[in-house]
Structure formats: structure tokens, C-alpha cells
Amino acid sequence: MAMKSASDRMGFFVAMFGWLGLLLGQRIVLSPEGASKLFTILGIAGIVGSCIQRGIALGRAREENKAAARAFLGLSVVGVFALAGYYATSIGGRELFGIKPPALTGEDAFGDVVTLAWLALATLSVVPAALGELSRASMRHAERQESRRVLSAIAAGLALSCVAVYGALFTFAADKTDKSVDYSYYRVGRPSASTGKMIDGLSEPLEVFVFFAPTTEVRSQVMSYLDELKRGREAKLVVTTHDFQAEPKLAKEHKLTKDGVLVLQRGKVSQKLDIGIEEDKARRTLKKIDGEFQKVLMKLVRDKRTAYVTVGHGELVQETDKRTERSAEIVKQLIEMQNYGVKNLGLGDGLGSAIPDDAAVVLVLGPTTAFAEAEVETLRRYADGGGKLLLALDPESQAAHGPLAAIAGIDWQPALVVSEKPTVRMTGGPGDKKVLASNSFSSHASVSTLSKEQSRGAYVVMSGAAALEKLKDLDKSYAVDFGVKSPRGSFLDTNADLSPGGDEKKAVFNLFAAVTRKLGDGKDALELRSVVVGDADVFGDFFAARVPGNQVLFAEALRWLGGEESFTGRTSSEEDVSLAHTKATDQLYFYGTILGAPSLVLAAGFYFTVRPRRRQKPKAEVKSGSTLEAKGEPKSAPKTEATGESKSEATMNADGES
């Protein structure tokens, strides 16, 4: 019986040696050529011989074992078909079937499909046979083999093989699909529409030299961004990869001293973006690579401009405490990203006499004191000469900013726009009614990105905003578009009690105005462009750091003022958004973790330690033959006839004293 069982398993071992010989002959032992052919011939002989041996074993098998023998034979036949598929992918097989050999740099659809097919057939042949033989080997000492156990093992092997084949097919399809999905702890930023628009508008191609060693992980992450940005823009964007160590001459030409750098070149002008080669250090840049890439690209698109920011009136930019909302570090970064240099504009810099000639835009960000008449007149002359103004005026400062807004043809009143019900929770008190979250935008170019993303939840937040209207009898040369409006249920709080009453009717108020004014006829005529915002806190660090829409509002307004509305669009970033905590919330977290949680643990331990425990009544043991009285008490032990003692006492007396 043992010899017959070993003979039955011989087909499996022959097949395994056959596949091993084929692997050696075709993949490992490639020279000398004679050894390769020898192993290949032995492999083919083993696979075909296994099929023949399985057929002989089927003829010798008992009736109850024929089902298992047929299954093994079928698996061997599948292996022969796999061998035929492998031959079809070889040069001789292609010539036999009339298939042209694959090009060196082209797709080989026939080879890919047939390779997957023969690998799948080989898996379906070997794995179920191996499990079936293991099951049969476990019964080698039994008088009779159980065919059902063998067939069950083969079925399990087929299921396992199908899972493996499905995984291989899925991987193959994913490799052929030009799309990547990143599930890592941090994700690389994706190219935004605004970056693509900047490249589309170039008059000559943009060359990007990627200086990374081929083995670095950062290189593949950078290339995933560039490949996606390049898609559909092959004529405008040319990306080449280089190794700093292998190409020292090219590195010297671009004045590089290390790897991990992108060189953007347009014509003879170039700019560098330093990313780094260590993944931990490059992670921060990779999360916001789109913004960094766009910042460098902007330097190639146009020359650097100058943005003047007024000082001397308690503006946001004069504050240095980043913990308060009256600071504007984020706004400064956004200005620099658009390739502007930032300069202060005070009385000594020309604010009281004449705006410098190199001023591309003048920004007034949240002054807390009123401007002098001379300063207002200087800004008016600048506007009448086709200047570009951004006026973010804070009504909570109690300063008279009406003359500044009038330069742009806007009527500004210091009363706050308040919501009947809080739209943003800050402190939980009535003061939250002053904080307005608005998602009502027009289609103007200065807010076009927010308008497009309105359905996806884009919004801006203002705190203590004034209502804006056109000046009465405004000249027809002014064109005013109110880009942001207050939420429904708002009212103008003229008496500062945060409650509607009297003439304080609910309405929708204008919070943001984009103003243009033609200063002549013809295409070359000067044009005033101005943006007026009813609240300066919208651009302060407190809200800009927590509400992405506020940053978009400023960046788009600046682009529109500079005549670059074609570049509108949000930059892509995978940076974590900082959590906003109020002072009361921080106190709650502090005392909750320091005192609250330990107190709960101590209280629970004290309760479970000293609480009175219930005494469990002993359960009455019921012996066979005994009965219980009605009250549940056991009957007394039966007395002996001679002495009247119980049986237990009688036993003790007979054996001796206890």
C-alpha cells in the first residue's frame, strides 16, 4: 500500500522538478548555452511526464479513489497548457503563431496577456496539487484513502490560487492605469489649476531639471507631481531627470552644489527650488510643493513687483505678536508668493506727499487710527492715476475710515453687521454673533475661485464687519461688484446691543467690493482697480491660519489688482490645518486632563474597593434519593432503630470517637 501511494505521488514530484528545470534553463543558467538547453529540455520532459504518470495512476486507481486521480490528472493537463503558453511568448512561439516580436521601446499587449495567462495556469496547476498531495500523505498509513478529504484540499488550493491570480490581474491592471493613489501618512501636494494656467500662458516652453539620485524616494514623489502637471502640456513643460554626481558639468552650469534641487528655466533665466534628498526633511516641502513650485514659477513669468503696505496707523502688519489676531504674517507670505517685494509706506516714505513710482499696489490693512487729510489726498491722487488699492477697514477700531473708502467710490459706515444666530462658535457667548461665516460669492474674477468651490463648502470668516454700499451720485465711470455678502438673518447693529430691534431690519449686506474705473478711452487707457473689505480681521493671522477661504480671498484679490486674474485658483497643499481652541476650551482640556481624568480613576477604584459585598448564600447540596421540605430545608437524617441516632452519628460511634 505504501509503495503504491508513493508511486501515485511521483507525478507531483516529477512536475515540481520539471518547473524547477524550466526556471533554471530559462532564467538562471543562461550560459553556457548547452546547460541552458539541457535544463529546459529536462523541465519540459518533467511537466509532460507528470501528466503521463497521472494518466497511468488513474488507470490503476481503485474505484473509490478515481475521483481524486481524475482531479490530479486535470491539474497536470492545466500545467501542460501553462507550458504551451510560456512557449507562445518565446521567439519560436511568436514565429509559429505569426506574432511579430516586441519593439524595444513599445507596448507588448500579446506578451503581457499570454504571460499572465500561463502564470495563472501554472499557479492553478501547482498549488492545488501540492495541497492535495499533502492531504493524501497524511493518510499514507491508513488502510484506505478518503477521496473526499483529498478533493476538499484540492478545492481549497483552487480557491487560494484564484485569489492569487486575481491579485496579479489587479496589480497588472493598476500598473497599466495612469493614475496613482497615495495612502501614506503624509501625501505629496498635487498640481493646482492655477499652476497649470500659468504654464499654459507661457510664450516659450518651461524646462524643469530634476537633480535627484535615482535611488532616492523623494525623487519618485517629486516626479509624481511633475508627471501630473505635465499631462496635456508636453509642448509647454519639458521635464528631464539628472544625477548631480553623474553629471557634474551640467550641475556646474546651473551653479548647483548638491542633489535634491529643481531648476526651472525659461529661456536664459532660471530659478531653483531646493527640496532635499532626505525624506524627513523634504516632507514639509512636499506637502506644499504646488505653492513652492508656483512661487518659483512666478519669478520666471514676470519681473518682481513692489507692494507698499501703509504703516503708522496701527495696521495689522505692525503687530509682532503672532498669538493675536492682529498680525499679518500669512498675508506677507502670500504677497511674496506672487513675486512681490513688500515695503512699508509711512509719512517718511511718501504717504504724505506722493506714492513711489515703483508701487504696483498699495495695501491698507486694518488701521486703528484715522488717516490724515494729506495722506488721504495722496492715496486719492494715486488712484486717479490708475493705481491699485486694497483697503481692509476695521469698524471696531472706532476710527473714521469713510474718506478712505470714498476714494474707491464706496460708502463705509462703522456699524457692525451682526447675525441673529451665531454662524461660528468662538466663546459660546453673544459676541459670537459678530463672527460671520459667509459662502455667498459673486462671479467676479476676484472671488471666482471661491464661487466655483461654493458647492464644496468654501467660505470666508469675518469678525466685526462693516456694510458697504455705493456712494450716492457715484460717477458712471465706476463699476462696482460686491463679491461677498453676509449670511441671511443678518442685521446692522446700530445700537451695539447684538439684538435686532427698532429700525434694525434683517437683510443681506455687502462685505467685499471690487471697484474698477476707466480713466480714459482706448485699450491703453489707465484703469483704477480697488478692493474694499468691510473687515480687516479677515486677513489677520488668527482667521487666515484656520480658514483656507480667507487666504484664497486675499490671494485672488491681489492677483486681480495686478491684472493676473488668469492665474486664479487655489494652490494645492497637504499640510495639516491647525486646530482652533478658545481660551475657555484650553482651560477645559487642561483641568480635564490634570484633575478630571485622575479623579474619575480614583473615584472608580475607591468605589469598587470599599463597597459592601453581598454575601452569597450557600447552595444546598441535593444528594440522590434525598428530598427537600416545603421551605427548602433538608430533612433530618434518618434515625437508627436501636438507638435513635442518625446514620452519620451511628457510623462515627462504630468507627470510634471523632
**Interval 290-302: pLDDT, tens:** 888 988 998 888 8
Classify domain 193-300 at the CATH class level. alpha beta
Amino acid 452 reads: K
Other CB atoms within 10 Å distance of the CB of residue 74: 16
Q: How far apart are CA 346 and CA 329, in angstroms?
A: 19
Is the pLDDT score of 576 beyond 60?
Answer: no
- 8 confidence band (pLDDT: 50, 70, 90): low
Q: Summarize pLDDT for 151-162 with one digit per residue, the tens.
A: 998 899 899 989
More confident residue, 230 or 566: 230
Report pLDDT digits (tens) over 538-547: 999 989 988 9
Coil, helix or strand at residue 436? strand
Question: Does position 579 have pLDDT exceeding 50, yes or no?
Answer: no
Which residue intervals of 24-63 are DSSP H helices?
33-60
Asked if residue 523 has pLDDT above 90, the reply is no
Residue 362 has pLDDT above 90, yes or no: yes
Q: What is the pLDDT of residue 595?
A: 72
Q: Provide the pLDDT confidence category of residue 657 given band limits of 50, 70 and 90.
A: very low
Q: Examine the pLDDT at 568 and tell me if it is beyond 60.
A: yes
Quick one: average pLDDT of 319-346? 81
Q: Closest by alpha carbon to 298, among 195, 447, 191, 446?
A: 195
Provide the 8-state DSSP code for 575.
Answer: P
Domain ranges across the chain: 2-176, 193-300, 302-414+467-486+509-571+579-585
Confidence of residue 534 (pLDDT cuts 50, 70, 90): very high
Tell which CATH classification among 3.30.200, 3.40.50, 2.40.30, 2.50.20 matches the domain 302-414+467-486+509-571+579-585.
Answer: 3.40.50
582 pLDDT higher than 50: no
Q: Once rounded to an integer, what is the mean pLDDT over residues 628-633?
A: 44
Instruction: Say what the pLDDT of residue 407 is.
Output: 94
Residues in Cβ contact with 241 at an 8 Å cutoff, skipping those fewer than 6 apart? 210, 212, 214, 219, 223
| Residue 379 scores a pLDDT above 90 | yes
Q: Which residues, including other chains, have CB under 8 Å from residue 430's CB and lie 6 or more apart?
A: 498
Q: Which residue matches cell numbers 459678530?
A: 434
Of 82-96, 119-133, 456-470, minimum mean pLDDT range: 82-96
> In the predicted model, what is the mean pLDDT of residues 635-650?
45
For the segment 80-90, the average pLDDT, to the nearest whole number, is 87
> What is the per-residue pLDDT for 552?
92
The model's pTM is 0.58
Dihedral of the CA atoms 470, 488, 578, 279 (nearest 10)?
A: -80
When pLDDT is averaged across residues 456-479 and rounded to a whole number, the result is 91
In angstroms, what is the C-alpha Rg of the chain? Answer: 42
Q: Are 147 and 67 in contact (CB under 8 A)?
A: yes
Lowest mean pLDDT, pick from 4-8, 199-203, 439-443, 524-528: 4-8
Q: What integer pLDDT is reported at residue 566 of this predicted model?
A: 75
Q: What is the pLDDT of residue 385?
A: 92
- Model pLDDT, residue 268: 87
Name the percent of the chain lying above pLDDT 90: 29
Q: What is the mean pLDDT of the chain?
A: 82
Residues 611-626 as b/e (b if ≥16 CB within 10 A, e otherwise) read eeeeeeeeeeeeeeee
Give me the pLDDT at residue 564, please.
87
Q: Which of 35-44, 135-144, 197-206, 414-423 has the lowest mean pLDDT?
A: 135-144
Count the alpha carbons within 13 Å of 403 in the hemisphere toward its beta carbon.
14
When pLDDT is cut at 50, 70 and 90, the band that residue 440 belongs to is very high
Q: Report DSSP state, residue 421.
A: S
**What angle is formed at CA 428 by the lines to CA 424 and CA 431, rounded to 5 degrees?**
75
The contacts of residue 422 (CB under 8 Å, 6+ apart) are: 432, 433, 435
CB 423 within 8 A of CB 435: yes
The pLDDT value recorded for residue 239 is 93
Q: What is the mean pLDDT of residues 120-126?
A: 90
Q: What does the pLDDT average to over 315-327?
A: 67
N-terminal to C-terminal alpha carbon distance within the chain? 69
pLDDT at 410 over 70: yes
More confident call, 585 vs 484:
484
Residue 221: pLDDT band by 50, 70, 90 thresholds? confident
> For the residues 136-148, what does the mean pLDDT come to?
80
Using pLDDT thresholds of 50, 70 and 90, give the confidence band for residue 33.
Answer: confident
